[in-house]
Amino acid sequence: MGKVSPRIHAVLARDSPHAVIFRRGPAGAVCTIGWNRSNDKFTMGQWLRGRIYERRADLSPDGRYLIYFARGQRFEPQLKGSWTAISRAPYLKAVSLWAKGDCWNGGGLFTGPVRFWLNQGCSDELIFADRRLKLQEEFPWTEGYGGECPGVYYVQLQMKGWKYLGKQGPGWLNEFAVFEKPAGRDWVLRKRAFETLPNSTQGRGCYYDEHDLINRSAGEAIEHSTWEWAEVDGERIVWAERGKLFQSQLNESGLTEPMELKDFNEMKFEAIEAPY
């Protein structure tokens, strides 16, 4: 069995150039990295020994706050083993915290700079809260997609400009949702968000994405199945594969020469304190 590259997933702020990258691996360790997309500068956040469910995470529109759902490697009685937190991006130290105790639901979405919706379950227990942040009780979208990762992720994608085209595949737990986003020059970025049974493919879990570039005028589709995460970022396409982050422009023929923005492969766990 060959070496598995760390899994990379990013969450972009809607109204600012800020983003947070989740870098997962080796097993049992994950970290956050701040990404300023205006100059492609990166800021180290914090490590966690445990699991962050990156598809249930979101950034406030201005990029200031991060909401995420996590499960610890060791059981902590106050947190009941899992929790939802809001932190100051790109760090993980909570300014608002809810103990959970299971992995159903969790995480949430921002609907404004300080307004958020919580993907709550029946076991959530408020530990403390930042009074500047305002909980929105009503569900922030017209359609729901369940309590786990799709219930947050699919809404977040649509709030950030992706068009939902429905699901394909043979049936429940063996299907994928299709999303598309205009990428300029007659191109569209297509995302296939898989919901599957436990995946035997090395480095993939139950939820993972694949991508295609579609040329509408030529009727051409270029498959990029190795892109584990991808987005349209202004005039460019940004994506992650093999533990690295890349960017490229689109012309009439497709992508220009890719440029590597960051290699996350050799990062190792380190204890980092948040500066607040």
Copy the structure tokens of residue 148: 């786990």
Cα angle vertex 190, ends 202, 120, to 5°? Answer: 70
Strand order through the sheet with 134-136: 108-110, 115-118, 134-136
Contact in structure between 204 and 213 (CB atoms under 8 Å): no
- Dump strand ranges (E) for 40-162: 41-48, 50-52, 58-59, 65-72, 82-88, 94-99, 108-110, 115-118, 125-128, 134-136
Distance CA 98, CA 179 (A): 31
pLDDT of residue 119: 95
Q: pLDDT of the chain along its 276 residues, tens only?
A: 567 899 999 999 999 999 999 999 877 899 999 999 999 999 999 999 999 999 999 999 999 999 999 998 777 778 888 999 999 999 999 999 999 988 899 999 999 999 999 998 767 899 999 999 999 999 999 999 988 899 999 999 999 999 999 999 877 667 899 999 999 889 999 999 998 876 555 567 789 999 999 998 888 899 998 999 999 999 999 999 999 999 999 998 889 999 999 999 999 999 999 999
